[in-house]
């Protein structure tokens, strides 16, 4: 397959997202698409697959050559191009598509979102073989929405490859994966793409870039700044890590053992769709502490944070106690003083909501607003929008933003209520290097000012320097709980 873009422009809601793009994908090229959040990377991939359409032009600006014939639209290419990214995954959460994993993979064979017809024995066998190739055979009969965030990503990659596309489009496909599943995903890409398939991938981290990239496309403010060979020098330049300060041992020691319990779990077990996810967890969170939660995909990290927040209840025989929440006091009083950032929250946010409404909803711990934003709420939101570089986007809908920009909106939403507790589940997923670094430094300052934090992450570099505790989970149980092992 060959794809040509010529003088293409894409405008969304009167805002130019891609500007005068001329670019060609030909042969078995493997393109790494880079650029800051909002540069247009995700929209470029959506445009290639046909999910969005370019501005009208007097001549064709998007052409496809497949099996010797040229086409001016991607309609005829639907069976030849596969797309996977966080937004694709979020659709399953948003619409409640909860099929067994093997069925999700099999829909890729039929090129449908949900099963619309019976599958043949050969298709059933083929879908299970793709899961086995991903090292995920044990997930085949699990319901999709009971899987962890990373496990879902593996299933959806198997689904994309099961369609045997000519071109594979991967948007931040390795975000949210632990080391083991990231390696599985890379092996699956290598096996599934072979020597002849082209792919185009966005990635902000070296470890999240599929192996074999040989071309680089650099986007800035919707325009192409470079398109050509990926040299070793350019790779080093793009992946250079900014310097991070470390907290003195005295600072960490001063924060440990502070009095005042915020949340306490005792013999806490949590079930989701009749599957036990957490098993007899004992955990005490005190004011001023900063805990890092880590473990493999499916170990229970997200469930632990959502249980602390109040999205999941504790099974009979266990207990959860929150400061200030006694009989007669609604849970919303705790949530009003708690900031929460998680992939599930991003998936739950309606795409039509403007940025301002999403940020203001943090004052009410709600999804959306029941009433229009008041003048007082607007005054409170504006400095927060400025702090997170969102003031110019305040009236844009979430659908207009990149995945990384929406993540910054969630940071602003969590900050507007001036919380005393911050729960962060893979908070930096989808963020470019500079934005990630700036938000990490801001979090370090807030921890230094006494904010209580629980952060779940797969990346050691994302552990706050002033972390006071480390909690490692395995299969829903605590494997280690105590001081950070340096």
For residue 402, the model assigns a pLDDT of: 85
Please give the full DSSP string across 438-470, using - where no structure is assigned. HHHHHHHHHHHTT-EEEEE-S-GGGS-TT--EE
Q: Which residues of the chain have pLDDT under 50?
A: 250
pLDDT at 184: 87
3-state secondary structure of 280: strand
CB-based contact 433:461 (threshold 8 Å): no
Residue in this structure with the two tokens 């939660």, named with its chain if needed: 293
Compute the CA torsion angle 455, 328, 281, 279 (nearest 10 deg).
-110
Query: In DSSP terms, which residues pair with 18 in a beta bridge?
Result: 10
Q: Mind listing the domains of the chain with CATH numbers?
A: 2-239 (3.40.50.300), 249-482 (3.40.50.300)
Residue 139 token pair? 């997930």
Per-residue 3-state assignment (H helix, E strand, C coil) for 299-351: CCHHHHHHHHHCCCCCCCCCEEEECCCCCCCCCHHHHCCEEEECHHHHHHCCC
d(Cα 118, Cα 182) in Å, to the nearest integer? 32
pTM to 2 decimals? 0.85
Q: 333 CB contacts (<8 Å, ≥6 apart)?
A: 324, 325
* Both tokens assigned to 38: 């909002």
Residues 428/376, Cβ–Cβ less than 8 Å: no
73/50 Cα distance (integer angstroms):
8
How many angstroms separate the CA atoms of 158 and 291, rounded?
Answer: 34
Model confidence over 175-196: pLDDT tens digits? 888 888 888 888 888 888 776 7
Question: Is-contact 119 112, C-beta < 8 A?
Answer: no
Task: Provide the 8-state DSSP code for 11.
Answer: E
411's tokens: 């940071």
Give the integer Cα–Cα distance in Å for 409 and 103: 34
């Amino acid at each position: 397959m060959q794809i040509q873009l010529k003088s293409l422009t894409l405008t969304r809601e009167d805002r130019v997202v891609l500007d005068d793009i001329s670019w060609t994908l030909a042969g078995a090229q493997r393109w790494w698409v880079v650029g800051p959040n909002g540069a247009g990377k995700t929209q470029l991939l959506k445009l290639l697959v046909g999910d969005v359409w370019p501005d009208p032009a007097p001549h064709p600006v998007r052409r496809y050559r497949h099996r010797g014939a040229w086409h001016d639209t991607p309609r005829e290419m639907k069976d030849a191009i596969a797309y996977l990214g966080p937004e694709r995954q979020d659709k399953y959460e948003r619409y409640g598509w909860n099929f067994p994993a093997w069925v999700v993979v099999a829909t890729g064979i039929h090129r449908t979102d949900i099963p619309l017809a019976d599958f043949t024995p050969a298709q059933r066998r083929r879908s299970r073989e793709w899961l086995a190739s991903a090292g995920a055979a044990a997930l085949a009969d699990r319901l999709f929405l009971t899987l962890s965030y990373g496990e879902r990503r593996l299933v959806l990659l198997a689904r994309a490859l099961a369609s045997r596309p000519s071109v594979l489009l991967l948007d931040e496909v390795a975000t949210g994966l632990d080391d083991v599943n990231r390696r599985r995903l890379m092996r699956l890409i290598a096996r599934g793409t072979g020597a002849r398939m082209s792919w185009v991938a966005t990635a902000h981290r070296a470890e999240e870039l599929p192996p074999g990239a040989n071309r680089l496309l650099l986007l800035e403010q919707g325009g192409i700044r470079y398109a050509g060979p990926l040299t070793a020098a350019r790779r080093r330049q793009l992946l250079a890590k900014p310097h991070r300060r470390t907290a003195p041992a005295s600072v960490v020691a001063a924060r440990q053992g502070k009095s005042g319990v915020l949340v306490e779990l005792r013999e806490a077990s949590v079930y989701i769709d009749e599957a036990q996810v957490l098993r007899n967890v004992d955990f005490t969170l005190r004011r001023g502490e900063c805990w890092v939660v880590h473990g493999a995909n499916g170990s229970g990290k997200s469930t632990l944070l959502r249980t602390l927040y109040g999205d999941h209840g504790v099974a009979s025989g266990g207990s959860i106690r929150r400061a200030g929440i006694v009989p007669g006091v609604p849970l919303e009083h705790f949530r009003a003083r708690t900031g929460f950032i998680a992939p599930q929250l991003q998936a739950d946010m309606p795409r039509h909501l403007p940025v301002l409404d999403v940020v203001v909803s943090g004052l009410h711990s709600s999804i959306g607003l029941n009433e229009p934003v008041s003048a007082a709420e607007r005054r409170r939101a504006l400095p927060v929008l400025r702090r997170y570089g969102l003031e110019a986007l305040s009236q844009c809908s979430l659908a207009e933003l990149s995945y990384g920009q929406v993540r910054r909106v969630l940071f602003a939403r969590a900050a507007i209520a001036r919380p005393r507790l911050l729960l962060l589940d893979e908070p930096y997923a989808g963020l470019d290097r500079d934005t990630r670094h700036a938000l990490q430094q801001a979090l370090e300052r807030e921890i230094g000012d006494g904010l209580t934090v629980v952060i779940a992450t797969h990346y050691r570099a994302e552990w706050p320097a002033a972390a006071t505790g480390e909690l490692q989970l395995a299969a829903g149980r605590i494997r280690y709980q105590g001081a950070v092992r340096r």
